[in-house]
């Protein structure tokens, strides 16, 4: 590595801090929603807000799941960085172009392999 290389460790740390704070926020929102539900369950059985609460719930849990998955991916990328395997596609083994890594420092696959993985032919 030369001094002009991007500081991947720092980039990953930034991504992780961001993903972590996002996960924390989502968890807080879910907690608030749980409390709201508990308060309202004493009221009317035919709660007009019931539907919107449960759709909010599934939206928040979905977002929380994806930020947890992102945290795992970031940790895996950090592990690859420590092993010296960082920046290589986990599928084809080719180096991932720096531009792609800058956009998404924790990516484990090059754009081509990610494409085939996400939408199998
Ligand atoms: Zn690849």
Which tokens is 27 given? 């968890």
Closest C-alpha among 8, 30, 27, 110 to residue 67: 27
The alpha carbon of 88 and the centre of ligand 1 are apart by a number of angstroms equal to: 8
Write the CA distances from 6 to 22, 33, 44, 72, integer angstroms: 24, 41, 57, 22
The alpha carbon of 87 and the centre of ligand 1 are apart by a number of angstroms equal to: 11
The alpha carbon of 112 and the centre of ligand 1 are apart by a number of angstroms equal to: 6
Output the pLDDT for position 97: 94
The alpha carbon of 113 and the centre of ligand 1 are apart by a number of angstroms equal to: 4
Which tokens is 11 given? 């980039």
Contact 117, 51 (CB under 8 A): no
Output the pLDDT for position 6: 86
The alpha carbon of 13 and the centre of ligand 1 are apart by a number of angstroms equal to: 24
What is the rounded distance in angstroms from the CA atom of residue 83 to the CA atom of residue 98? Answer: 18
Output the pLDDT for position 71: 97
The alpha carbon of 111 and the centre of ligand 1 are apart by a number of angstroms equal to: 7
Contact 113, 89 (CB under 8 A): yes
The alpha carbon of 118 and the centre of ligand 1 are apart by a number of angstroms equal to: 13
What is the rounded distance in angstroms from the CA atom of residue 98 to the CA atom of residue 86? Answer: 11
Q: What is the pLDDT along the chain (121 residues), one digit of tens a residue?
A: 555 678 999 999 999 999 999 999 999 999 999 998 888 766 555 556 667 888 999 999 999 999 999 999 999 999 999 999 999 999 999 999 999 999 999 999 999 999 987 765 4
Q: Where are the domains of the chain?
A: 8-86
């Amino acid at each position: 590595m030369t001094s002009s290389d991007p500081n991947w460790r720092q980039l990953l740390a930034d991504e992780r801090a961001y993903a972590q704070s996002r996960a924390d926020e989502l968890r807080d929102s879910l907690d608030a929603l749980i409390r709201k539900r508990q308060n309202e369950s004493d009221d009317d059985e035919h709660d007009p807000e019931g539907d919107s609460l449960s759709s909010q719930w599934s939206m928040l849990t979905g977002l929380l799941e994806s930020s947890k998955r992102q945290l795992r991916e970031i940790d895996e990328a950090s592990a690859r960085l420590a092993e010296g395997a960082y920046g290589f596609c986990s599928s084809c083994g080719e180096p991932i172009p720096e531009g792609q890594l800058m956009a998404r420092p924790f990516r484990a696959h090059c754009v081509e392999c990610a494409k085939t993985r996400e939408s199998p032919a």
